[in-house]
Structures are given as structure tokens and as C-alpha cells.
Amino acid sequence: MTVDAVQRWQAAPLPWHSATYDQFRRVLSDDRVPHALLLSGSAGAGIEHLAALVAGTLLCHSLQSSPCGLCDGCRMAQAGSHGDYRWLEPEAGKRALGIDAVRSAVSFIQQTPAFGERKVMVIAPAHAMTIAAANALLKTLEEPPGNGILVLVSSRPGDLPATVRSRCQRVQTPAPSADQALAWLRGQCDNMDSQTVSAALDAADGAVMTAMEWLQNGELAAMTELRRQLSGLLQGTSAPVSTVAALKDVELELILSTLLTLIEQALQEGDSDHLKSQRDLFELHDQVRGWLGAIRRGVNLARDTLLIEIAQRCQ
């Protein structure tokens, strides 16, 4: 999830993050904020939103318990021009955060603050760091500057090296309940009918921020069609050749992540009639997860060959 300059400043938590944020404010008021936080939670549940709120709270010059929105610190953060604030994420079109970007960020966090008491750096998603990049961060985690705070954000914290995880204070954030997600999404998309909003949330498997992105960008129809094609493949009701042809313009990572979600739903529901056995479904799940992990590590897989193999496994 790419976060633009405005989204990198938030004034209030999402409803399901209120308790987590209240706990952070208590720690801040007691002057016990750790030098490195690892915010983890479900993908599409808005952990980037919480990271932006935490950063804004740390940069605010007022004595309030949340960003005031009026001081110089808040205004600069809102404009994306705060000299003591950096949001590090992969460049557009790339999945990984390389060592050069992390080294530059480390140099930034070690400098003396120019506009307030602290320097704040958010790394989102932290699991996008290459091994070399993560290693470049270790020394700063081991010997943190007294006025620098790192906020790592990850929906896959297990993908981070243990050496990084062990040097951060982990904060596990909750996902919204179905009712919370639907109520919030309807409030954000009040110009859309309730049926469309509900369909988006179902298609996103409850990932509320993902659903909102699809609705705002007009991608719901495409995602619904993708799920229909893959469901047909899993259930053996779609011809493999036509399905592969229909998916020719869809990113392989998106295909695999969507397929993995559908398989997990089938496993939860005990719906394995479309495959030879429950064991086949588990094996396919592990295989798809392995392929997805390889892509996220930067491995180039033969797209058409892989799709045909998936189709054959589902027959």
C-alpha cells in the first residue's frame, strides 16, 4: 500500500485501533517510548494509518495527547515537508527496499533534529527490506540515537530477520470486526450504495482499506472477475486454457495472493469436493504460498507455465 504525503499525517485512529493508540499515548506521556516500534497486523487493516498517527503525535509541538493539526510540526507533516520525518517505502513499481535507501534513511535518523525534539522514520512495509538492507539497519537498532525513533510497519513480521524483530518493541494491532469494517467503509463511501460497499468488502476478504482502494479507483469489477475466474478454476468448472488467457493482463502476484485467499476460505469451510481430497487442497495451498513468497523475494517465475500448472492441479 503506497501512502501519499497527506496520508502520512493523521489526526485520529481508525476505530479498531483506538485502544492501541491510547496505550501508545500513555507510554508517550510517561516518556517511555522505545527507540524502535514494530507495528504488525493484518494486510489491508490500516496499520499504515496508525503508523502515520504515531509519527504525527511524536512530531506535534503541542502538549496535547494527539496531533493538534495547528502547530508547525503538524503543518509540515501534513504537507509532507517535515525535515525531521521520513517515510521509507519501495519505489513505484518495485517490491523491495534496497540497501542504498536504508543507508540514506539511517544517516537521516542519526542527525540532530532541526525542527523539534525528535526525528521519526517510518519503514512501510518493513518486510520489503532486502537482507542487506535489514542488516544495514541493525547497528542503528542496536545503538539508537537518543532523539531518533523508528516505526517499522509489517503485515508479515515473520519475514523480517529475527535480529531486527528482537530489537523492536512489537505492537500487534487488531483487525476490525466485520461490523466495524462495514460501518467504517460505508461512512467513507457514503456516495455508493450499501450493496456495492458490502460486495467490495467481501471481495477483499474483510481487508477494509483494500476494499476502499478498489471502490475509489474503480477496481471492484476487475477484482470480482478475477475471483470468479479463479473460483471456477478451483471448482473445476472453468477451462484452464480460457482462464489462463483471461488472466493474461493481471499481475502474477495478485493472482497468487487472491488464489491463496480462496484456498484458505475453502479450507475454513471444509469445501474440498472440487479437489480429490482435503490433502490436495493443503498441498496446493503450500505450493501457492511458496510461489508467492518467491515472487515477493524478487524471483522471476515463468508466468504462463505457472498458471497452467495451477490449472492442472485443480482438475
> CB-side exposure of 263: number of CA atoms within 13 Å?
24
Residue segments in the chain with a per-residue pLDDT below the cut of 70: 1-7, 63, 268-277, 315
pLDDT at 137: 95
Q: What is the DSSP string of 270-292?
A: T--TTSS-HHHHHHHHHHHHHHH
d(CA 28, CA 48): 19
Task: Give the closest residue to 199 by CA, choosing from 217, 190, 211.
Answer: 211
d(CA 191, CA 285): 38
pLDDT at 272: 47
pLDDT at 241: 77
The amino acid occupying position 311 is A
pLDDT at 302: 81
Q: Is 171 helix (H, G, I), strand (E, B) or coil?
A: strand
Please give the grid coordinates belonging to residue 2: 503506497
> CB-side exposure of 312: number of CA atoms within 13 Å?
6
The contacts of residue 181 (CB under 8 Å, 6+ apart) are 201, 206, 208, 211
pLDDT at 1: 42
Q: Provide the whole-model pTM.
A: 0.83
> Residue 151, class by beta-carbon neighbours within 10 Å (0-12 exposed, 13-18 middle, 19+ buried)?
buried
